[in-house]
Structure 1
Amino acid sequence: MTVISGKNLKEKILKMRKFAIFSGFLGAGKTTTQMALTKYHTDHHGKAAMISNDLGHSVDLADCRLAKLCGCNASEITDNCICFVNEQLADRLRSLYDDGCELVISDIPGFGVGALEHVYYGLTEKYPGEFLLAPFTAITEPCIVETLINGKGSDLRYIYDAQLAEADLIVMNKCDLINDEQRKAYEEWLRKRYPLAQVISISAVTGEGLEKLSQALTEGSASMRIPDLSHLKDDLSSAMDRMSEFYMQYHASVCCNDFDGNEYLREMAEAVCKDIMALGEEIPHLKLLTWAPEGDYGKADLLGTGRPVEMTHRFEHRCTDLAVIINGTAACPADKLEKIVTDSVKRVSDEYQLELMIFKTECMGMCD
């Protein structure tokens, strides 16, 4: 019988306790990828968990609520970015590891630029040797890669570039939406542009590539490489200064038997987008999650100005009451964004004859 020494046993246990950050742009599918990977790794390798993180004082985040509705092992850290709550993050990781998790994945609010320095270096310096860090990961998708290749469009591309420059591992999600020739071309461009990063393609929806992603995170490690972003400094700062984030949570009573929850969500997202565009501004991401006491739920996503609303999950039955969470980010002043979303909620809800009770509204500039 082979006897494992105390030191070797500790090293073996640590190797089974990986922590990964998922950075990446809004709408690239970070949450969907977290959910898919958490479930896949748990089913095929060992217990995994995901952490949802967001700014403000909001509790019951849309992402965490959605993950739990889908059966994921999910929890949340709110009130601040995990960049600045290393102690709370460390306590959460210890709790999850003690519960048997071997892989924990967290997203990061906003755009994640600087998370490598604040989170990975923060944990390493405050808790040396305690946490094993997986490759720093950035999630992207074909539309974002196309924007970078063309070098045109809004100054949001400077944020895209900075995110990918930090990554040890670049994951191009939504590969099911492009053909093999496009995928190969995008992967080659990413490898040439970011030569120090590993590049893989996945589809969080179909499950393609999840084994590669699982292996990359569990077998690889963080380089702790902080890239030189000085050439992007002014453009990146200008882009970040424009961004605001909005959160609303409310309850709606349905008064009509012919109420269509899916069309309600779609019209709400379209109304917000239309008013943002009328100001000449952009909205990179808007998510609407709503669920009924019967257990049914619906989710709509707007993944960029001018793009169609995606019904990520449709209600299957009629609803009597709704709990709704709206979370969005726009290149728009915070006060204007708050007014646009609030007015849209009230206007569209009136059209559907819903009785509203708004519990919480928060809106802030990303750099405030």
Structure 2
Amino acid sequence: MITFIPLTGFLGAGKTTTMTATALALQAQGRKVAVITNDQGVELVDTKLVRSKLDAVAEVTGGCFCCKFEDLVEAIVALVGSDDVDTVIAEAVGSCTDLQATVVRPLRQYYGEQMVVAPLTTVVDPLRFIAFDRAAQRGEPESDLSYLFRQQLTEADVIAVNKLDTVKADRAEEILTRLRTEYPNATVVGYSATGGDHLPELLTAWGGPSGNQAVELDIDYDRYAAAEAQLAWMNQELDLSAAGESFDATAWASSVLQHLSDWARSTDALIGHAKLTVETGGEEFAKLSVTGAGEAPVLDRAAGATATAARAVVNARVACEPDELDRAVQQAVTAADEAHGVSSSATTPVSFKPGYPRPIHRLAAAGA
């Protein structure tokens, strides 16, 4: 019997880091674990990083699991068949919700004899929660993105508050208490996927009850679609070459993301996430990310040495128009090239806005 563990949560919450950390922890317990990444676009930065740490990795691209349900099932079957897997962890697109009705229940109904579907887990960045909550406390009308964020919390069986090491202890406890009070059907767990603090508590929660499986999410699909349409999604590849003898790939990538972060702050553009990898040859690559306007890039992996040539991939999800994001990334790359002695050649930007979500299945809760 296969155990399927579905993760959701807003962009930048740390779903991929959570998925990787828990997969490694479960493997240490003797489980054979595979993971599935998911995105509206293609050429995923996260998949590259995950494959550097785990053996069994698949991806579903071009749409969320709800709209690519058969692709999800095919990925699960392929992983189980080729790698003798007994556990699959899958992270949905960060702008997706309504997964109880469109993914969890269909899997249980159509494949319940072949797999156990664990409680639906929503991964939360505490700083993102604070930002959305602060707007609500000021009495501002609920934005479509805030509405989407709230729906992800409402349907969760487990609310997994990641990055608790980024806030003070008293503030962290206040957030956990608020979430337990406002979402009593969910198990609320606080942890750090990067540091590993309290990660066993999240693994334990996955073996608990699915408190919301019988709750019907009252979701306005027009608002859901409007929230997704606020975000421009960009994937771009670049070929890099040193203008001199060599260049520092990690420093170049950090410079690109810092310029993009500063631009977002100056234009008041919400960053879902911006991620960048630079492959310098063989297994060597750098990977960095930024999840908030004005924030410094976070280094997930550094390239081992300077390089004469490299290939970079940018994934950016920002609340702005696609052409604005294209220009911002181009300007950030140009600035980084000049600062680090690099000549870059980019593919045509492929920024877009997601289409209207149209799930393959949408099953009502039992008794609804």
TM interval, shorter chain, is 0.7 to 0.9
Pick aligned residue for 1:100 from 84, 92, 96: 84
Structure 2 match to 1:48: 33
Match in the other structure for 1:313: 301
CA–CA distance in structure 1, aligned partners of residues 246 and 74 of structure 2: 48
Once residues 313 and 170 of structure 1 are traced to their aligned partners in structure 2, the CA distance between those partners, rounded to angstroms, is 27
Structure 1 gaps, min length 5: 1-13
Whether 1:352 and 2:319 are equivalent positions in the alignment is no
Asked if structure 1 preserves the Cα contact closer than 8 Å seen for 2:237 and 2:347, the reply is: yes
Q: Is residue 22–residue 136 contact of structure 1 (8 Å, CA) maintained in 2?
A: yes
Structure 2 unmatched runs, 5+: 357-368
Is residue 164 of structure 1 aligned with residue 164 of structure 2?
no
- Alignment of 1:34 onto 2:19: yes
**Partners of 2:348 and 2:52 in 1: CA distance:** 21
Higher relative CO (Cα under 8 Å, sequence separation at least 6) belongs to 2
Show the 5 A alignment for 1:82-101: 82-98=65-81, 99-101=83-85
Would you say the 8 A contact 1:23–1:108 is kept in 2?
yes
Aligned partner letter, 2:148: I
Write the letter of the residue equivalent to 1:189: R
In structure 2, the CA distance between the partners of 1:234 and 1:83, relative to structure 1 (3 Å rule), is closer
For the aligned residue pairs, the C-alpha RMSD in angstroms reads 2.6
| Residue matched to 1:203 | 192
SS of equivalent residue, structure 1 residue 83: coil
Distance 1:300 1:104, change over 3 A: same
Higher mean displacement: 320-329 or 235-244 = 235-244
| 1:142-175 deviations in Å (ceiling 9; x for gaps) | 2123224432588333332121111000001112
Is 1:25 aligned to residue 10 of structure 2?
A: yes
Cα distance in 2 for partners of 1:234, 1:70 equals 39
- Give the SS at the match of 1:300: strand
Aligned to 2:49: 66
Q: Which deviates more, 204-213 or 118-127?
A: 118-127
- Do the aligned partners of residues 256 and 100 (structure 1) sit closer, same or farther apart at CA in structure 2, a change above 3 Å counting? same
SS state at 1:251 partner: strand
Normalised by the size of structure 1, how large is the TM-score?
0.85
* Kept in 2: contact 1:111–1:163 (CA 8 A): no
1:118 Cα shift? 1.8
What code does the residue aligned with 2:353 have? G
Secondary structure at the counterpart of residue 362 of structure 1: coil
Find the aligned partners of 1:51 and 1:40 in 2 and give their Cα distance: 17
Between stretches 338-347 and 182-191, larger displacement belongs to 338-347
Question: Aligned match of 1:79 in 50, 53, 62?
Answer: 62
TM superposition shift of 1:219 = 4.8
What's the counterpart of residue 6 of structure 1?
A: none
Q: Secondary structure at the match of 1:112?
A: coil
**Does the CA contact (< 8 Å) of 1:25 and 1:160 recur in 2?**
yes
Tell me how far apart the structure 2 counterparts of residues 234 and 77 of structure 1 sit (CA, whole Å): 24
1:284 aligns with 2:272: yes
The total of aligned residue pairs comes to: 350
Task: Tell me what 2:167 maps to.
Answer: 178
Q: 1:355, 1:346 → 2: CA distance?
A: 9
Match in the other structure for 2:126: 142
Letter in 2 for 1:249: E
1:22–1:177 Cα change, 3 Å: same
Aligned to 2:359: none
